[in-house]
C-alpha cells in the first residue's frame, strides 16, 4: 500500500492487528458474506469476515474450509452471541485456526471470550460496543478490539449515530485500544476523518454488498442501486414488552410483514406460551429467513433488504478491488489536502 502512505500510516495499528494490507473490514452480512465475497475482500487487501448467522457447526466448518481454498490472506468469522451452539462454533473456528472471531448480537456470554482466546489456536476477539461504559467493560473482559457502529448502518442497529459514537469513544479509548468505526461510510474522505480521530480502521457493509463478487441476487443489487438514503429505514417496535433490536432495511412489503410478526410474537408472549429469550430468538429467525429470501431468492418485495443509509451512494456493481482502491485514494487525497 505504498501508493497511500498517509492513510497506511494512520491504519498501521489496524493492519498490524488484522494482518491485512488495509484496515478496511467488510462487516459480516448474513447470506452475503460467504466464501466468494470474503475471499475477494481479503485478496483485495481488505479484511473479509464470514457471517455465520444461523449456520450449524458443520456448515460453518465447510464455509471456512472453502474460503481458505480461495485466499491465503487472513479473514475473520462473525458469530452471533445468542446462537444456541455458540461454543461448538467457537470450537470449529479453533480447529481451523481462524485468526479473528467477531462476536455480534449482544454481550458475549460467560466463558465465550476465554474459549476463543484459550485453546490450542487462540484467536483475537472483536466485539461491538454500543456505549462507552460497555466498551470499557468489554476491553476489561478481554476483547482485543472493538467495533463502534452507528445507526446509519444496515442490519441490526443501535440508537446513536456514528459521528456521535466516534466523538464519545475515540478520544477516550483510541490511544490504548483498537477501535474500528462502522456505519454510514461510503467514501474515503470519511475514513480519513475517523483515522485522524484515532480509529484503527473502519468497517463497511452496504458498500460491499453489491460488489461484483457478492453472490446477492441481481434484483437485490438493483434495489440497492435504485434506492436513496431515505429509503433505508429503521424498523419500529410495536410492543413495549418485546424489546426488538431495530433493523435498517429498504422499505418494502417485508417491512410491514415484520410489524405483523412482532404482533404475533407479542401475542404468544402474552399467552405465556414462550419465554422472552425464545420470543427474541423467533424474531431473529424471522430476520434470517427474510434476508435469505431477498439475498438468495431475489424476492425484493417480501424479503428483507437490509441496507445502510450509504445505499444512496451506490450506483453500479464494482469489483471489490476497485472499491478498496477508490476508498484508499479518496482517503489519501483528503489527507494530502490537509
Q: Which stretch binds ligand FMN (CB under 6 A): 81-89, 205-213, 222-230, 271-279?
A: 205-213
Nearest Cα residue to 76 out of 212, 203, 184, 198: 203
Q: 269 or 299, CB closer to ligand FMN?
A: 299
Please count the residues of this chain forming the interface with ligand FMN, following the rule CB under 6 A: 28
For residues 322 and 245, is the Cβ–Cβ distance under 8 A?
Answer: no
Q: Does 170 bind ligand FMN (CB under 6 A)?
A: no
Q: Does 310 bind ligand FMN (CB under 6 A)?
A: yes
Tell which one of 173, 204, 300, 320 touches ligand FMN (CB under 6 A): 204
- What residues from 72 to 101 belong to the interface with ligand FMN (CB under 6 A)? 78
Q: Does 46 bind ligand FMN (CB under 6 A)?
A: no
Rounded Cα gap, residues 46 and 19, in angstroms:
10
Q: Does 63 bind ligand FMN (CB under 6 A)?
A: no
Q: Does 308 bind ligand FMN (CB under 6 A)?
A: yes
Q: Does 307 bind ligand FMN (CB under 6 A)?
A: yes
CB of 325 vs ligand FMN, minimal distance in Å: 18
Q: Does 183 bind ligand FMN (CB under 6 A)?
A: yes
Q: Does 30 bind ligand FMN (CB under 6 A)?
A: yes
| Helix, strand and coil percent figures for the chain, each rounded to 5 | 50, 15, 40
Q: Does 57 bind ligand FMN (CB under 6 A)?
A: no
Rounded Cα gap, residues 42 and 211, in angstroms:
14
Rounded Cα gap, residues 142 and 120, in angstroms:
17
Q: Does 190 bind ligand FMN (CB under 6 A)?
A: no
CB of 10 vs ligand FMN, minimal distance in Å: 19
Q: Does 199 bind ligand FMN (CB under 6 A)?
A: no
Q: Which stretch binds ligand FMN (CB under 6 A): 164-172, 188-196, 303-311, 321-329?
A: 303-311
For residues 324 and 46, is the Cβ–Cβ distance under 8 A?
Answer: yes
Q: 32 or 173, CB closer to ligand FMN?
A: 32
Q: Does 126 bind ligand FMN (CB under 6 A)?
A: no
For residues 301 and 253, is the Cβ–Cβ distance under 8 A?
Answer: yes
Rounded Cα gap, residues 267 and 333, in angstroms:
55
For residues 104 and 80, is the Cβ–Cβ distance under 8 A?
Answer: yes
Q: Does 306 bind ligand FMN (CB under 6 A)?
A: yes
For residues 117 and 93, is the Cβ–Cβ distance under 8 A?
Answer: no
Residue 152 φ then ψ, to 5°: -75, -15
DSSP 231: G
Helices (H), 2-148: 5-18, 35-43, 57-70, 86-96, 112-117, 132-140
Q: Does 104 bind ligand FMN (CB under 6 A)?
A: yes
For residues 300 and 225, is the Cβ–Cβ distance under 8 A?
Answer: no
CA distances to 21, 35, 97 from 76, in Å: 15, 11, 10
- DSSP H/E element including 281: helix 276-295
Q: 128 or 269, CB closer to ligand FMN?
A: 128
Q: Does 202 bind ligand FMN (CB under 6 A)?
A: no
Q: Which stretch binds ligand FMN (CB under 6 A): 6-14, 23-31, 61-69, 267-275?
A: 23-31
CB of 48 vs ligand FMN, minimal distance in Å: 11
List contacts with ligand FMN (CB under 6 A): 27-30, 32, 51, 53, 78, 104, 149, 152-155, 182-185, 203-207, 209, 306-308, 310
Amino acid at each position: 500500500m505504498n501508493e497511500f502512505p498517509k492513510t497506511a500510516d494512520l491504519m498501521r495499528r489496524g493492519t498490524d492487528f488484522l494482518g491485512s494490507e488495509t484496515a478496511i473490514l467488510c462487516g459480516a452480512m448474513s447470506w452475503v458474506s460467504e466464501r466468494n465475497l470474503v475471499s475477494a475482500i481479503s485478496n483485495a487487501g481488505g479484511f473479509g469476515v464470514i457471517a455465520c448467522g444461523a449456520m450449524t457447526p458443520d456448515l460453518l466448518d465447510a464455509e471456512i474450509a472453502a474460503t481458505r481454498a480461495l485466499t491465503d490472506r487472513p479473514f475473520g468469522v462473525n458469530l452471533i452471541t445468542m446462537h444456541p451452539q455458540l461454543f461448538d462454533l467457537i470450537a470449529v473456528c479453533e480447529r481451523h485456526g481462524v485468526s479473528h472471531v467477531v462476536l455480534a448480537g449482544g454481550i458475549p456470554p460467560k466463558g465465550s471470550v476465554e474459549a476463543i482466546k484459550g485453546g490450542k489456536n487462540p484467536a483475537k476477539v472483536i466485539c461491538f460496543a454500543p456505549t462507552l461504559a460497555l466498551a470499557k467493560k468489554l476491553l476489561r473482559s478481554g476483547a482485543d478490539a472493538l467495533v463502534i457502529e452507528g445507526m446509519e448502518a444496515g442490519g441490526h442497529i443501535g440508537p446513536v449515530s456514528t459521528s456521535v459514537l466516534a466523538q464519545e469513544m475515540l478520544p477516550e479509548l483510541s490511544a490504548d485500544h483498537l477501535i474500528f468505526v462502522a456505519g454510514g461510510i461510503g467514501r474515503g474522505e470519511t475514513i480519513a476523518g475517523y483515522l485522524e480521530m484515532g480509529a484503527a480502521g473502519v468497517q463497511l457493509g452496504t458498500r460491499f454488498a453489491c460488489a461484483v463478487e457478492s453472490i446477492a441476487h441481481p434484483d437485490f443489487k438493483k434495489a440497492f442501486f435504485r434506492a436513496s438514503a431515505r429509503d433505508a429505514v429503521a424498523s419500529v417496535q410495536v410492543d413495549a414488552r418485546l424489546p426488538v433490536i431495530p433493523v435498517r432495511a429498504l422499505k418494502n412489503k417485508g417491512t410491514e410483514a415484520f410489524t405483523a410478526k412482532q404482533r404475533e410474537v407479542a401475542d404468544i408472549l402474552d399467552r405465556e406460551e414462550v419465554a422472552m429469550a425464545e420470543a427474541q430468538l423467533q424474531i431473529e429467525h424471522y430476520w434470517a429467513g427474510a434476508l435469505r429470501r431477498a439475498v438468495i431468492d431475489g424476492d425484493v418485495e417480501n424479503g428483507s433488504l437490509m441496507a445502510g443509509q450509504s445505499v444512496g451512494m451506490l450506483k453500479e456493481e464494482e469489483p471489490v478491488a476497485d472499491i478498496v482502491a477508490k476508498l484508499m485514494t479518496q482517503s489519501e487525497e483528503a489527507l494530502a489536502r490537509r
